[in-house]
């Protein structure tokens, strides 16, 4: 098992590095709005992000990890040569990491998910053979990359419209915000707890009946909403800073809601993106331990913990700076707008996580922000960036693939 130890060590190193990068960069998207709107201090944001990224990764990250690990490459085809899958997964991690490094140096808005999926498809198609790729599944994944931002955009549009109708357009928006924001808090908490309970608890060995699952989710959501209502009632209007509509105080009420949706966003992010780092690692471990392409072996929980931990370390070391930088630049995303975007994105992402589809969390959030914009919620959106996202999209998949093929043949030559 000498070679096996080397494989696992390498894969763990690459995986932790990826997780670190995800924590350092991508988490900022979930937390920056809350910090920018002063709903959370930077310290609170890091604690919240750490807790929910980690729980998201460990409780709801299993399905996507399964897809990355064994959903893209046809494992049956590789049974006679399991070492090829090991080389490929190592190459994919390295390729995605390298590409992300190049991209972030140049300021290209690339997605971790697109990189890793492109890389795996690349090594499998060229290194092993066109048939080694489960093209049907890959097609579904790629479709979801188009559908997920659209879905998030649509949900965000609807949510923000409802905020306009219920609260912002009335003569007494503060009163109405105090009445309706706890309801939004309830739904935000409900969505996240439902996904956690249905998708996550089995990982830690708990199984509940459908009825009691719903009961538990409702109980948790109601408690969160009540806690939110308590905080909201303590908010006093600052007469000096206000004009007749009290929008400054209204935004502070939404700030409480934003804390909840930020938790949801961190949770959703952890549940989908942790797979990019540890999916390949999980595949390598399974092969190295059993010596064969055992697609039936369960995902060890410690691998999820490792990924979640890596994200938290990235967040703690580097994420702090990114969060405050991004927070300063997205002040247009006030809590009433930001929560709509975050709740829409988080809902879309956790549904994808639940069904095991790796999507780009960042692009989903961008889709949600655009949805709020279409509802006339955002002062100015720079459409050039939206164009750049499409370009990076088209470039990232072949780039990840080519790098992965390169590394694959290098590993094939030098590794035992």
Q: In the complex, what is the shortest distance from the CB of residue 141 to other proteins, in angstroms, rounded to a whole number?
A: 20
SS3 133: strand
Task: Return d(Cα 351, Cα 268) in angstroms, integer.
Answer: 9
Is there binding between residue 381 and other proteins (CB under 8 A)? yes
Binding mask 40-79 for other proteins (x = CB under 8 A): ----------------------------------------
Is there binding between residue 325 and other proteins (CB under 8 A)? yes
Which range, of 141-149, 167-175, 178-186, 276-284, touches other proteins by CB under 8 A?
167-175
Counted residue by residue, the chain has a size of 416
Cβ burial of 140 (10 Å; 0-12, 13-18, 19+) is middle
- Residue in 45, 28, 64, 23 with CA at minimum distance from that of residue 148: 64
In this structure, the number of other CB atoms found within 10 A of the CB of residue 385 comes to: 10
Cβ proximity to other proteins, 135 vs 390, nearer residue: 390
Cβ proximity to other proteins, 199 vs 246, nearer residue: 246
> What are the CA-CA distances from residue 172 to residues 145, 167, 191, 213 (Å)?
40, 8, 29, 38
Cβ proximity to other proteins, 171 vs 204, nearer residue: 171
- Residue in 174, 298, 335 with CA at minimum distance from that of residue 241: 174
Cβ burial of 132 (10 Å; 0-12, 13-18, 19+) is buried
Q: In the complex, what is the shortest distance from the CB of residue 33 to other proteins, in angstroms, rounded to a whole number?
A: 8
Is there binding between residue 285 and other proteins (CB under 8 A)? no
SS3 169: coil
133 bridge partner residues? 73
Task: Return d(Cα 407, Cα 11) in angstroms, integer.
Answer: 13
Q: Considering CB under 8 A, how many residues would be counted as binding other proteins?
A: 47
Is there binding between residue 326 and other proteins (CB under 8 A)? yes
Cβ proximity to other proteins, 129 vs 387, nearer residue: 387
Is there binding between residue 348 and other proteins (CB under 8 A)? no
Is there binding between residue 29 and other proteins (CB under 8 A)? yes
Show the CA angle centred on residue 192, arms to residues 299 and 20, nearest 5°. 50
Is there binding between residue 333 and other proteins (CB under 8 A)? yes
Is there binding between residue 265 and other proteins (CB under 8 A)? no
In the region spanning residues 76 to 115, those forming contacts with other proteins, defined by CB under 8 A, are 104, 107-109
Which range, of 124-132, 219-227, 279-287, 378-386, touches other proteins by CB under 8 A?
378-386
Cβ proximity to other proteins, 148 vs 336, nearer residue: 336
Choosing from 68, 299, 369, 401, the residue that interacts with other proteins (CB under 8 A) is 369
Query: Which residues, at least 6 apart from 263, have a Cβ–Cβ distance to it below 8 Å?
Result: 48, 51, 52, 192
Choosing from 32, 75, 89, 119, the residue that interacts with other proteins (CB under 8 A) is 32
Choosing from 322, 340, 343, 357, the residue that interacts with other proteins (CB under 8 A) is 322
Q: What are phi and psi of 300, to 5 degrees?
A: -65, 135
Task: Return d(Cα 290, Cα 297) in angstroms, integer.
Answer: 9
Q: What is the CA radius of gyration of the chain?
A: 22
Cβ proximity to other proteins, 236 vs 243, nearer residue: 243
Is there binding between residue 25 and other proteins (CB under 8 A)? yes
Is there binding between residue 330 and other proteins (CB under 8 A)? yes
- Distance from the first to the final alpha carbon of the chain: 11
Choosing from 236, 380, 413, 414, the residue that interacts with other proteins (CB under 8 A) is 380
Which range, of 136-144, 179-187, 198-206, 325-333, touches other proteins by CB under 8 A?
325-333
Task: Return d(Cα 359, Cα 123) in angstroms, integer.
Answer: 20
Is there binding between residue 336 and other proteins (CB under 8 A)? yes
Q: In the complex, what is the shortest distance from the CB of residue 403 to other proteins, in angstroms, rounded to a whole number?
A: 21
Choosing from 154, 187, 198, 247, the residue that interacts with other proteins (CB under 8 A) is 247
Choosing from 130, 171, 206, 414, the residue that interacts with other proteins (CB under 8 A) is 171
**Per-residue buried b or exposed e for 148-170, using 16+ beta carbons within 10 Å of the residue's own CB:** bbebbbbbbbebbbebbebbbee
Q: Which spans of this chain sit near other proteins (rule: CB under 8 A)? A: 25, 28-29, 32, 104, 107-109, 164, 168-171, 173, 243-245, 247, 322, 325-326, 329-330, 332-334, 336, 362-363, 365-366, 369-370, 373, 375-386, 389
């Amino acid at each position: 098992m000498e070679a096996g130890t080397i494989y696992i060590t390498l894969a763990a190193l690459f995986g932790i590095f990826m997780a670190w990068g995800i924590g350092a960069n991508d988490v900022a998207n979930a937390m920056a709005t809350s910090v920018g709107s002063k709903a959370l201090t930077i310290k609170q944001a890091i604690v919240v992000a750490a807790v929910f990224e980690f729980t998201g990764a460990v409780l709801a990250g299993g399905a996507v990890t399964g897809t990355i690990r064994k959903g893209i490459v046809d494992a049956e085809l590789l049974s006679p040569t399991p070492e090829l899958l090991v080389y490929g997964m190592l190459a994919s991690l390295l390729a995605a990491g390298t590409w992300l490094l190049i991209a972030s140096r140049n300021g290209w808005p690339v997605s971790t998910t697109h990189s890793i999926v492109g890389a795996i498809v690349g090594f499998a198609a060229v290194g092993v053979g066109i048939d080694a790729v489960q093209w049907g599944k890959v097609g579904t994944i790629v479709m979801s990359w188009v559908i997920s931002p659209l879905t998030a955009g649509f949900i965000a549009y609807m949510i923000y419209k409802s905020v306009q109708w219920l609260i912002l357009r009335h003569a007494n928006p503060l009163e109405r915000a105090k009445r309706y924001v706890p309801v939004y808090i309830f739904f935000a908490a409900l969505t996240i707890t439902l996904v956690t309970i249905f998708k996550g608890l089995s990982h830690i060995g708990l199984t509940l009946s459908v009825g009691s699952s719903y009961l538990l989710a409702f109980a948790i959501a109601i408690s969160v909403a009540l806690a939110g209502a308590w905080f909201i009632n303590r908010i006093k209007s600052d007469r000096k800073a206000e004009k007749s509509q009290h929008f400054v105080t209204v935004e502070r009420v939404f700030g409480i809601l934003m804390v909840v949706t930020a938790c949801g966003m961190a949770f959703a992010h952890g549940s989908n993106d942790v797979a990019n780092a540890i999916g390949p690692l999980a595949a390598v471990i399974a092969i190295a331990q059993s010596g064969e392409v055992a697609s039936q072996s369960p995902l060890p929980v410690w691998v999820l913990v490792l990924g979640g931990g890596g994200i938290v370390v990235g967040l703690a070391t580097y994420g702090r700076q990114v969060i405050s930088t991004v927070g300063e630049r997205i002040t247009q995303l006030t809590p009433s707008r930001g929560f709509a975007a975050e709740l829409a994105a988080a809902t879309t992402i956790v549904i994808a996580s639940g069904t095991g589809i790796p999507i780009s969390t960042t692009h989903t959030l961008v889709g949600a922000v655009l949805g709020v914009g279409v509802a006339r919620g955002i002062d100015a959106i720079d459409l050039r960036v939206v164009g750049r996202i499409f370009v990076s999209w088209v470039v990232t998949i072949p780039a990840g693939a080519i790098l992965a093929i390169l590394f694959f043949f290098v590993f094939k030559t030098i590794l035992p």
